[in-house]
Amino acid sequence: MGRFGVLGVCLLVLVTQVALSVAFEGCRISFGRRGCYHRVLQGVLVTCDGRGHETLVPQNIPLDTIYLSLVNFKFDTLKRTNFSRFIAVECLTIVDSGVSALDADTFADLEKLREIVLHGTELTSRHLAFINHETFRADLVTIAKSKHMKKLTFNATPALRDLKTLDFSGNGLEEVNASIFTELRNLETLDLSENQLRTLNWHRLQELTKLNKLMLKGNRFQTVPRVMHSVMFAVKELTLSDNPLHCNCKLRWMKEFFAASVDKVTDYDNIECASPMNKMMTSVNIGDFVCEHPSAPSIHWSRLADDRYAVNCSSVGDPAPTLTLVFHDSQKVVIPPSDDLSQTETRTPHVITAGGPVTCHAKNSEGVASTVWDIPLPGTW
């Protein structure tokens, strides 16, 4: 096929795609009022259903559309050219449409964009650069129910200062970059609920001085440090239920806080002390939020065939203690407690020694306990 033949085929494909897009009939166009999340819009409203197989963003949409909802499409990568016509759109929603990638400037031409909701995508943390793009204007960003979204690790820039709502609920988040909080100085709502978070940089959350809603329910938090009291006191709405909280003395402050927070919207009635009580927090007395001094370490040893010994030790406390096993030849083994706060016993692995005195120290926030055991040296038994 000659050069002009190839060019002709390319033009035919392009024209066909444009024709299909223009001819798309799955959009409902109306004029009226429609609520987004933070605002109510009045003007041209468009909702399009891709029926699970349409791969192109419809282009037969009025240029003065202010509300655009794209549902059930089969998109892949979305680019700037897909949305360059929609300069009047203020609220953009894309739901269950297979979005797997976004260019950083995808929404650069949406001059009036204020709210964007991406629900049920295939996006990962590598596809979040659009939030930091210099032309991005939205103050509400929602990326929810996106199972591949494991981390929020995009670089924080001053572009984040325009955000008022950040919703990453219902994903698989395991990590949030602490530097993000520094630039979210105007954030009013932060929703990280229904993820897999075990911890956050709690100190950095204090920098969100305009925060009024904090949603953390449905994660894997076992404790929250007292430094969060000022943040929780400041917000009007707060959720923490469906987390496996370990209610020892470190969470006594939280019990006292919720008991006094009658003027807030919270889910206190649904917060559970998963350990050590396995009760709802509302039914646990303040006096039951206790910690325990480490028990006297137990040293266990057994003689091996070569006349040496396998030695280990264990201790129980709440919080679980750190163990230090010291041998007569100055060999030292330090074992930290489990990351699972519900596991209150710490046990060292077996260590091989020739015998002699062995000391095991158990230490937690409540104190130190030690045990010394003299294991027979070879030839003395």
- Whether the pLDDT of residue 83 is over 60: the answer is yes
Distance of alpha carbon 238 from alpha carbon 216, whole angstroms: 8
Q: Are 332 and 192 within one domain?
A: no
Residue 235: name the closest of 189, 168, 289 by CA: 189
pLDDT digits (tens, 9 = 90+) for 65-81: 999 999 999 999 999 99
Q: Are 40 and 164 within one domain?
A: yes
- Whether the pLDDT of residue 381 is over 60: the answer is no
DSSP string, 63-130: TTEEEEEEES----EE-HHHHTT-TT-SEEEEESS---EE-TTTTTT-TT--EEEEES----GGG-HH
pLDDT digits (tens, 9 = 90+) for 209-254: 999 999 999 999 999 999 999 999 999 999 999 999 999 999 999 9
pLDDT digits (tens, 9 = 90+) for 354-378: 888 999 999 999 999 999 999 876 6
Q: Are 108 and 178 within one domain?
A: yes
Domain assignment of residue 138, yes or no:
yes
Look at residue 1 and give its three-state secondary structure.
coil
Q: Are 254 and 353 within one domain?
A: no
The domain of 329 spans 298-375
pLDDT digits (tens, 9 = 90+) for 13-64: 333 334 334 456 789 999 999 998 888 999 999 999 999 899 999 988 999 9
Q: Are 120 and 231 within one domain?
A: yes
Q: What is the CATH number of the domain that holds 88?
A: 3.80.10.10
Domain assignment of residue 9, yes or no:
no
Q: Are 114 and 221 within one domain?
A: yes
Q: What is the CATH number of the domain that holds 320?
A: 2.60.40.10
Confidence of residue 156 (pLDDT cuts 50, 70, 90): confident
Q: Are 112 and 223 within one domain?
A: yes
Distance of alpha carbon 203 from alpha carbon 228, whole angstroms: 8
Distance of alpha carbon 337 from alpha carbon 322, whole angstroms: 5
Q: Are 192 and 53 within one domain?
A: yes
Q: Which of 237, 259, 288 lies at the terminal end of a domain, its last residue?
A: 288
Q: Are 220 and 337 within one domain?
A: no
* Assessment of whether the complete model's pTM goes beyond 0.75: yes
Domain assignment of residue 10, yes or no:
no
Report the relative pairing of strands 40-49 and 27-35 from DSSP bridges.
antiparallel
Q: Which of 288, 307, 322 lies at the terminal end of a domain, its last residue?
A: 288
Report the relative pairing of strands 351-353 and 140-144 from DSSP bridges.
unpaired
**pLDDT of amino acid 305:** 84
Distance of alpha carbon 101 from alpha carbon 70, whole angstroms: 16
- In the numeric block, which tokens belong to residue 280? 């709802």
- In the numeric block, which tokens belong to residue 60? 């037969």
Q: Which of 288, 320, 339 lies at the terminal end of a domain, its last residue?
A: 288
Residue 366: name the closest of 316, 294, 275, 276 by CA: 294
Q: What is the mean pLDDT of the chain?
A: 91
Number of domains observed in the structure of the chain: 2
Query: Alpha-carbon Rg of the chain, whole angstroms?
Result: 29
Distance of alpha carbon 164 from alpha carbon 188, whole angstroms: 5
**pLDDT of amino acid 2:** 53
- In the numeric block, which tokens belong to residue 195? 């993820």
pLDDT digits (tens, 9 = 90+) for 287-328: 999 999 999 999 998 988 888 889 999 999 999 999 999 998
**pLDDT of amino acid 28:** 94
- In the numeric block, which tokens belong to residue 300? 């266990």
Q: Are 58 and 173 within one domain?
A: yes
Q: How many residues are there in the chain?
A: 381
Q: Are 121 and 228 within one domain?
A: yes
Q: Are 204 and 316 within one domain?
A: no
